């Protein structure tokens, strides 16, 4: 259910606007809108700080080594300051190290030599010039000079030019060398820098246990930043300041009572279609596990659209089970989910995603058991009690029946979207939605006849009646004949409805590919030990196990990718198109303080919403 909103404007004295915002933030019920955004001293500094804290959090997370460490006694701010200081020191040392390594590279061909010795020789009339170039460069040296090759590379020669007279340095291919350091000094400094970097790395790893405090500090900054953004976005007129936004209808009484208490003026209106109210979804508690899916893909229905989260969850669960398709994989998922549920039992944010994965795991087990699929093993190699439901596991009829089931799910899913849309909008166009639902069932029969069961004998008049009645309802009640684009697009919509039904065959195809990949890796493993015996067999068994384990691990990853691509697509594209959903919603995010109960999508004040 999408909770109804009221468009609200709160007016207070300009001198009291910060106090009013503080009270409004404590209420935590208004989704605010920016009237303007004036520059201020506080906001840019906080925006810069929150970015820096994010960088430090990311850095500490990447340095984690998984080892148990002593509990961090520092506050979040102290962790940030200490980590920032170490990061700045590390950056300076890395810059120094980069210069030293360049110096080392340029000095390496010459070995360790004394610049003082070269200076002393020059004072005694022996001029030594260190050069690098090609054989052609050596041939162009001034007369009366001698040279000594120090090192010859593939493309470059390093040599010393010796002369009793001073030479024009511009005429020589002089090597570019640092003046202030020798090779030995560079190597010593490099070693020192690396040791310092390792010490800093260890200190930063030690700060990893301060991540909870650091995240809390980040939340404090974000809360303060949110306050200043809203403050800087308030409108003003003379001695008055005002803020606009949206408040859930069940929370209006709270806002009204607070306005009376603090002397604010309120303007409360019903939003119009020109307004962009945020979307607040209230689902029954049992279906709250749908929220992680929407959070992951980052979509929300528009305020004037319909909440399909329950239907989305039900069919996504079915799609997940069919795409992964292996009961053994489902058992693995379930065990991992239960372990995570115990390990993260105190983490409220992890509760819904883990519960969702438990449900998905059970669905996978059920489907795998029905089809008799366990680690991609052939049907004749598993016990009788694991053979599954005959019509879904018998190799002779299994594929046909699953294809039929895919088209049946398509018909139910898509026709439900059309029928539900017709009931929800309930106007003169509703019979047109019924016509589309009938079209979909006609497409189901046609797809089944053409692809799955060609032997079906469905009389032609049946199709004529189905499509005839459906087209009559659509053309009379659905098509807007004044809308040229809709009229021209109608034939393509008809073809698209058939393609949408066919699209559900992907559930069979992806599930089948998962089975054959698992089966292929099993065969590869068995081929390794085929015909072997003795010690060779013992060694190759280890190789076989590794091949099978790696193969199944990769197959699980591919199956999960298949869920993301296909399981989500069937809901967000095919179903949503027939439900006429655009997913253009803005998620309701109230202006509130941290850890505060408010009726947002993640933490809903149940009593208030149900009132």
Contact 244/16 with Cβ under 8 angstroms? Answer: no
Q: Is the CA virtual torsion 395, 400, 404, 407 positive or negative?
A: positive
For residue range 41-88, list pLDDT tens digits in order: 888 999 999 999 999 999 988 887 666 677 788 899 999 999 999 999
| Cβ neighbourhood burial of 588 (10 Å; 0-12, 13-18, 19+) | buried
Degrees to nearest 5, angle at CA 552 with 547 and 554: 95
Could you give the CA distance from residue 187 to residue 583 in angstroms, rounded to a whole number? 61
Q: Give residue 526's pLDDT.
A: 87
Q: Give residue 596's pLDDT.
A: 52
Could you give the CA distance from residue 544 to residue 527 in angstroms, rounded to a whole number? 8
Q: Give residue 527's pLDDT.
A: 87
Please identify which residue in the block is written with the tokens 């041939």.
139
For residue range 555-572, list pLDDT tens digits in order: 999 999 999 999 999 999
Could you give the CA distance from residue 213 to residue 602 in angstroms, rounded to a whole number? 22
Q: What is the 3-state secondary structure (H, E, C) of 308-370?
A: CHHHHHHHHHHHHHHHHCCHHHHHHHHHHHHHHHHHCCCCHHHHHHHHHHHHHHHHHHHHHHH
Could you give the CA distance from residue 284 to residue 475 in angstroms, rounded to a whole number? 38
Contact 247/255 with Cβ under 8 angstroms? Answer: yes
- Containing 540, the helix (H) or strand (E) segment is helix 534-562
For residue range 498-535, list pLDDT tens digits in order: 999 999 999 999 999 999 999 999 999 888 887 666 66
Structure tokens at 200: 């800093």
Q: What does the chain come to in residues?
A: 611
Eight-state DSSP code of residue 164: S
Please identify which residue in the block is written with the tokens 């004949």.
481
Q: Is pTM beyond 0.85 here?
A: no
Q: Give residue 467's pLDDT.
A: 94
* Residue 605 CB coordination number (10 Å): 19
Contact 132/109 with Cβ under 8 angstroms? Answer: yes
Contact 608/251 with Cβ under 8 angstroms? Answer: yes
* Residue 209 CB coordination number (10 Å): 18
Name the residue among 610, 587, 589 with its Cα closest to residue 279.
587
Q: Give residue 600's pLDDT.
A: 44
Averaged pLDDT score across all residues of the chain = 90
Q: Give residue 611's pLDDT.
A: 40
DSSP SS3 for 405: helix
Residues 6 or more apart in contact with residue 528 via CB below 8 angstroms: 540, 543, 544, 547
* Residue 106 CB coordination number (10 Å): 16
Contact 504/409 with Cβ under 8 angstroms? Answer: yes
Contact 8/255 with Cβ under 8 angstroms? Answer: yes
Measure CA of the first residue to CA of the last residue in the chain; give whole Å.
14
Could you give the CA distance from residue 438 to residue 505 in angstroms, rounded to a whole number? 20
Name the residue among 336, 268, 341, 280 with its Cα closest to residue 305.
280
Interhelix angle for 76-107 vs 211-232, to 10°?
A: 110
- The residues pairing with 161 across neighbouring beta strands, listed in sequence order, are 129, 147
Q: Give residue 71's pLDDT.
A: 77
Residues 6 or more apart in contact with residue 185 via CB below 8 angstroms: none
Integer CA distances (angstroms), 467 to 421, 439, 500, 549, 578, in order = 20, 6, 17, 51, 17
Helix segments in 64-208, DSSP class H: 76-107, 115-123, 135-139, 183-206
**Positions in the chain short of pLDDT 50:** 597-611
Could you give the CA distance from residue 3 to residue 585 in angstroms, rounded to a whole number? 13
Structure tokens at 187: 């190597």
């Amino acid at each position: 259910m999408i909770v109804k909103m009221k468009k609200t404007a709160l007016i207070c004295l300009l001198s009291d606007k910060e106090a009013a915002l503080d009270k409004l933030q404590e209420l935590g019920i208004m989704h605010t809108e920016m009237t303007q955004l004036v520059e201020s001293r506080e906001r840019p500094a906080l925006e810069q700080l929150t970015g820096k804290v994010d960088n430090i959090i990311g850095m500490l997370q990447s340095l984690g080594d998984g080892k148990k460490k002593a509990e961090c006694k520092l506050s979040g701010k102290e962790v940030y300051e200490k980590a920032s200081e170490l990061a700045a020191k590390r950056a300076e040392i890395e810059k120094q190290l980069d210069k030293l390594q360049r110096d080392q590279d340029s000095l390496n061909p010459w070995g360790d030599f004394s610049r003082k010795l070269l200076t002393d020789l020059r004072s005694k009339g022996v001029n030594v010039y260190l050069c690098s170039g090609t054989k052609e460069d050596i041939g162009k040296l001034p007369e009366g000079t001698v040279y000594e090759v120090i090192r010859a590379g593939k493309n470059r020669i390093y040599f010393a030019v010796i002369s009793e007279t001073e030479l024009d340095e511009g005429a020589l291919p002089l090597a570019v060398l640092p003046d202030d350091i020798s090779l030995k000094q560079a190597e010593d400094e490099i070693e020192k820098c690396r040791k310092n970097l390792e010490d800093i790395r260890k200190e930063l790893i030690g700060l990893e246990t301060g991540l909870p405090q650091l995240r809390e500090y980040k939340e404090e900054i974000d809360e303060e930043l949110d306050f200043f953004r809203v403050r800087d976005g308030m409108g003003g007129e003379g001695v008055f300041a005002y803020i606009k936004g949206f408040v859930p209808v069940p929370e209006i009484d709270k806002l009204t009572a607070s306005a009376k208490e603090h002397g604010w003026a309120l303007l409360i209106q019903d939003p119009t279609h020109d307004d962009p109210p945020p979307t607040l979804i209230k689902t029954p508690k049992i279906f709250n596990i749908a929220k992680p899916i929407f959070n992951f893909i980052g979509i929300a229905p528009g305020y004037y659209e319909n909440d399909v989260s329950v239907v989305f969850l039900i069919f996504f669960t079915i799609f997940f089970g069919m795409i992964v398709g292996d009961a053994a994989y489902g058992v693995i998922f379930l065990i991992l989910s239960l372990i995570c549920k115990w390990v993260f039992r105190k983490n409220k944010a992890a509760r819904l995603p883990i519960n969702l994965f438990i449900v998905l795991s059970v669905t996978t087990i059920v489907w795998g058991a029905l089809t008799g699929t366990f680690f991609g093993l052939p049907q004749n190699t598993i016990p009788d009690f694991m053979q599954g439901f005959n019509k879904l596991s018998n190799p002779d009829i299994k594929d046909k029946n699953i294809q039929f089931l895919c088209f049946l799910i398509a018909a139910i899913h898509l026709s439900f979207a059309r029928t539900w849309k017709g009931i929800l909008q309930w106007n003169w166009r509703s019979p047109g939605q019924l016509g589309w639902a009938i079209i979909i069932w006609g497409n189901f029969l046609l797809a089944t006849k053409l692809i799955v069961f060609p032997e079906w004998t469905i009389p032609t008049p049946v199709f004529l009646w189905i499509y005839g009645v459906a087209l009559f309802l659509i053309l009379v009640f659905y098509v807007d004949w004044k809308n040229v684009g809709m009229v021209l697009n109608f034939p393509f919509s008809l073809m698209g409805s058939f393609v949408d039904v066919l699209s559900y065959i992907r559930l069979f195809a992806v599930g089948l590919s998962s089975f054959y990949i698992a089966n292929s890796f099993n065969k590869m493993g068995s081929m390794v030990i085929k015909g072997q015996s003795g010690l060779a067999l013992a060694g190759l068994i280890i190789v076989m196990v590794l091949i099978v384990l790696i193969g199944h691990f990769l197959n699980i990853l591919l199956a999960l990718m298949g869920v993301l691509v296909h399981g989500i697509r069937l809901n967000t594209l095919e179903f949503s198109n027939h439900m006429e959903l655009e997913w253009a919603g803005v998620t309701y995010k109230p202006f509130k303080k941290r850890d505060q109960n408010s009726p947002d999508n993640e933490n809903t004040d149940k009593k208030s919403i149900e009132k």
